[in-house]
Amino acid sequence: MRAMVYRGPYKVRVEEKAPPVVEHPNDAIVRVTMAAICGSDLHLYHGMMPDTRVGMTFGHEFIGVVEEVGPAVRNLVPGDRVMMPFNIFCGTCWFCARGLYANCHNVNPNATAVGGIYGYSHTCGGYDGGQAEYVRVPFADVGPTVIPEWMDDEDAVLLTDALATGYFGAQLGDIVEGDVVVVFGAGPVGLFAAKSAWLMGAGRVVVVDHLEYRLAKARTFAHAETVNFTECDDIVVHMKKITDHLGADVAIDAVGAEADGNFTQHVTAAKLKLQGGSPVALNWAIDSVRKGGTISVMGAYGPMFSAVKFGDAMNKGLTLRMNQCHVKRQWPRLFEHIRNGYLKPSDIVTHRIPLEHIAEGYHMFSAKLDGCIKPLIVPNAV
């Protein structure tokens, strides 16, 4: 089969690979019909995530059609059109039983600090991902869901990660009616978080980024006020000024390990790998939010330490909430919101790229060229 393959930092290509096989009685093999590149893939692509092996296939946002099922699979049959949460999870460990699917203890031998994720390095379990023609889907009775008839493929693929994560991020903000919510990052996760903040009753939503074209999307798609941080002398002072010097009630970090805005932080993290991630946006969140406020961290950071301003967070009495998203737990409610017309995830899709052009896709998304917000990958595109 054709599959995206990692060749080392900044290098990927499409290779002919042996198709996946059933390795466990509850596995399914899924033929991928659509995948996406996520901001998280960029952390792998830039070589930031420990134990990212040459030869691995990335991709944790994908939908497809069931091709084959293992002998113990009861809930799916070949031919089902399915969407997979980016989490691989067992359904019955201590964590899954309580709804913490992202923290499953039965799927990742390599680390206890993180669950299982498709195509996301060995630190997340060593599974090949969905930027390929076929993919192995473990625990086929637990993760995948048959895509409702009425749902578009592009909405379904965004439900497998970006939309669910933005929605989850807004929930971790514990928003109450009238809260001022600031979202750092106007990528897919930030746009969906901003949009979701309104559903929870936010009184004001401010999105911060440095990419003008993404801020424009935040204004139209997410109905938000925007701030370009390169236009502020000091973004923290700016946030204080626009909130009558109180600070925002809630801040959401939708940037993560490669945050810009401070050259030293970015280079030590993203280029030199001396810290787990560049905590620029996280530190801005800590300093912009009001005392007693809440920070929701959706941005991903590596397992190493990062230079976070913990003292300020402590002295301000902040609540810091964070996790990988428990994707499947978000679905029933998100399906309703999409049906009601409150959310139209595919509005943020900017590019549809054939699998064969994956290297160009990664470069464009990574370097933020051509107004790229969300690139989809289509195997077998003509």
Partner 1 sequence: MTYTSDKPALPESADQLRARIPGWGADLDPKDRPSVPKLQWQEDRTGAHWDFPDRQPEKWPRERSIEHKFLTPVFGTSCPPKGASGMIRRLAYRKFSEGRAAHWLLLLAADRVDAWESHLSSFLTARPDNPVTETGVLSEFSRHGISSRVGQKRSDVKHQVLDPVIVAGPWVLAVAVAVTAVRKLLRRS
Structure tokens at 327: 């994707």
Nearer Cβ to ligand NAD (20/188): 188
Window 301-340: residues binding partner 1 (CB under 8 A)? 302-305, 326, 328-330, 332-333, 337, 340
* 277 binds partner 1 per the rule CB under 8 A: no
Closest Cα partner for 144 from 233, 59, 74, 221?
Answer: 74
CB-based burial label for 52 (10 Å; 0-12, 13-18, 19+):
buried
Pairing label, strands 145-146, 81-84:
antiparallel
Question: Which stretch, 27-35, 210-218, 242-250, 354-362, contacts ligand NAD (CB under 6 A)?
Answer: 210-218
Structure tokens at 45: 């692509």
* 130 binds ligand NAD per the rule CB under 6 A: no
- How far apart CA 194 and CA 212 sit, in angstroms, is 16
Which residue from 96, 140, 197, 286 is in contact with Zn ion, where contact means CB under 5 A?
Answer: 96
* 97 binds partner 1 per the rule CB under 8 A: yes
- CB burial of 237-267 (b: ≥16 within 10 Å; e: otherwise) equals ebbbebbeeebbbbbbbbbbbbbbbbeebbe
Nearer Cβ to partner 1 (19/91): 91
User: Choosing among ligand NAD, Zn ion, partner 1, none, which partner's interface includes residue 359 (Cβ < 5 to 8 Å by kind)?
Assistant: partner 1
Q: What number of chain residues touch ligand NAD (CB under 6 A)?
A: 35
Q: What number of chain residues touch partner 1 (CB under 8 A)?
A: 116
* 189 binds ligand NAD per the rule CB under 6 A: yes
Name residue 297's beta-bridge partners.
253, 322
User: Choosing among partner 1, ligand NAD, Zn ion, none, which partner's interface includes residue 55 (Cβ < 5 to 8 Å by kind)?
Assistant: partner 1
- How far apart CA 372 and CA 118 sit, in angstroms, is 23
Nearer Cβ to partner 1 (245/317): 245
User: Choosing among Zn ion, ligand NAD, partner 1, none, which partner's interface includes residue 354 (Cβ < 5 to 8 Å by kind)?
Assistant: none
Structure tokens at 197: 């903040």
Closest Cα partner for 29 from 175, 133, 149?
Answer: 133
Window 152-181: residues binding ligand NAD (CB under 6 A)? 161-162, 165
Name residue 88's beta-bridge partners.
116
Name the site residues for Zn ion (rule: CB under 5 A). 38, 40, 89-90, 93, 96, 104, 106, 161
Name the site residues for ligand NAD (rule: CB under 6 A). 38-40, 42-43, 161-162, 165, 184-190, 208-211, 214, 229, 254-257, 259-261, 280-281, 298-300, 324-325
